A and B are shown apart, each in its own frame.
Chain A
């Protein structure tokens, strides 16, 4: 019995505000005139300024894909990115990524030998890059057109691998598919270039990355 009252109470709670809204909005329209009284309708328009317009210059999201760590095989990579669109063409992006190196072919062939400990195999990077929307246009998916951009991107950052920091350049190209104003799907190819002394001599390593991701504009 009690539960029945409770549900009735809840239902009334749900409908009560709706009931309150309706008469309020309907009753506002017809102005009740008393005989002999002239009412000057005073229109109060809410002042809306440019500051009230919603701006959507930021883009935030996550990505996943494959990263080829030079000498250490191809490994899965996960990350997050945030971008600020400065003009229609130029944007700045901060991204973080993490992967784990697998074994080199030498380690596999030699049996039990290990070049790096488990912790040292963590590959984490951050970078700050500037992108340029090169080809803004429409992509057709079936017969429907959606907005898309092809962009080039490059920047600097740090890669922590084998317990060492490496100053890292990155350069790449990406495709942004924008099915909704607030939502985009990315496909990115990026090369992370840094100098490494891990295998004895110092050499420039190229670590190619292929990712897909989703982002939201806000």
Chain B
């Protein structure tokens, strides 16, 4: 009984919100002589309608650089970001549709990327995510897999990076980190056991801003693996990859 009551109340809250959200879209006025509406969110889709200057349009949603709009007559279509720049808000001010530029790169908060490279002779794949406390200081979590001829490694690490020149297009960084490495020898070899070791590393590299949300990252890592054997292992890794930021 209580469940039914709760679900009825929940349903009301939900439908109530939905109805409220439906009518509430950003409205702007076209200031260009006309803007073109495409049937889909890419320039390859055909133009099927235009909206003339002075007409009020509703902005329904966004996909990459394309906005889905609705005209007064209820026709829906996709308009490119560049065409939205010349629109006015209802009180006559210029509507602001910010673009992602190098300014966004300088003040990025989140970054997620993929790298590939050479981990002491083995092919490696890395997925990483960064959070920037300030433009010059960030923390990063990364997971790598290195697949060699004799063994494969899984490596997870966390690090602190310093970016001394965040305003440069080619922005160098250096980092210190700790992590764990899991080594499993290939099955075809003689009986050997999986092992897990801790490691620390120093890194140096550079982020290069390409365009839009893209970054190219080049990096060198020097790992110290603290093994249970007599000698610690030193591993070098070179890698390159792409990242996007938010």
Contacts and interface: CB of A to CB of B under 8 A. Distances in A.
A109 B62 CA distance: 58
B61 interface: yes
A133 B27 CA distance: 31
B218 interface: no
A88 B64 contact: yes
Contact of B41 (A10, A88, A158, A164): A88
A86 B64 contact: yes
A181 B41 CA distance: 9
A57 B8 contact: no
Contacts of B127: 128
A77 interface: no
A162 B9 CA distance: 54
Nearest to A89: B42
B64 A53 contact: no
B24 A137 contact: no
Interface stretch (B65-73, B163-171, B197-205, B220-228): B65-73
Interface residues of A, number: 47
Interface string B47-69: 00000000000011111111110
A151 to B, nearest CB: 11
A95 to B, nearest CB: 13
A92 interface: yes
B213 interface: yes
Contacts of A158: 125, 145, 147, 152
B155 interface: no
A147 B8 contact: no
Interface in B198-238: 212-214
Interface stretch (B90-98, B103-111, B133-141, B173-181): B90-98
Interface in B177-200: 184, 186-188
A53 B67 contact: yes
A13 B42 contact: no
B39 A145 contact: yes
Interface residues of B, number: 50
B24 A48 contact: yes
A135 B90 contact: no
A165 B58 CA distance: 52
Contacts of B184: 165
A152 to B, nearest CB: 14
B61 A166 contact: no
A56 B145 CA distance: 31
A17 B24 contact: no
Contacts of B1: 6
A87 to B, nearest CB: 5
B3 to A, nearest CB: 12
A86 B213 contact: yes
B16 interface: yes
Contacts of B125: 128, 156-158, 167
20 contacts: A6-B1, A10-B4, A17-B16, A50-B98, A53-B67, A56-B61, A86-B212, A87-B212, A88-B64, A128-B125, A136-B43, A138-B40, A138-B45, A138-B46, A145-B39, A156-B116, A164-B152, A164-B187, A165-B152, A181-B63
Nearest 6 A-B pairs (CB), nearest first? A136-B44, A165-B152, A147-B40, A136-B42, A167-B147, A88-B42
Interface of A: 6, 10, 13-14, 17, 21, 45-46, 48-50, 52-57, 84-89, 92, 128, 130, 133, 135-138, 145, 147, 149, 156-158, 162-167, 178, 181, 197, 217
Interface of B: 1, 4-5, 8-9, 12, 16, 24-27, 39-46, 59-68, 90, 96-98, 114, 116, 123, 125, 127, 145, 147, 152, 184, 186-188, 212-214, 242, 244
Given A14-B8, A55-B63, A138-B46, 17 more contacts: A17-B12, A48-B27, A50-B98, A54-B60, A54-B62, A85-B64, A88-B42, A88-B65, A136-B40, A136-B43, A149-B42, A156-B116, A158-B147, A165-B145, A165-B184, A178-B40, A197-B188
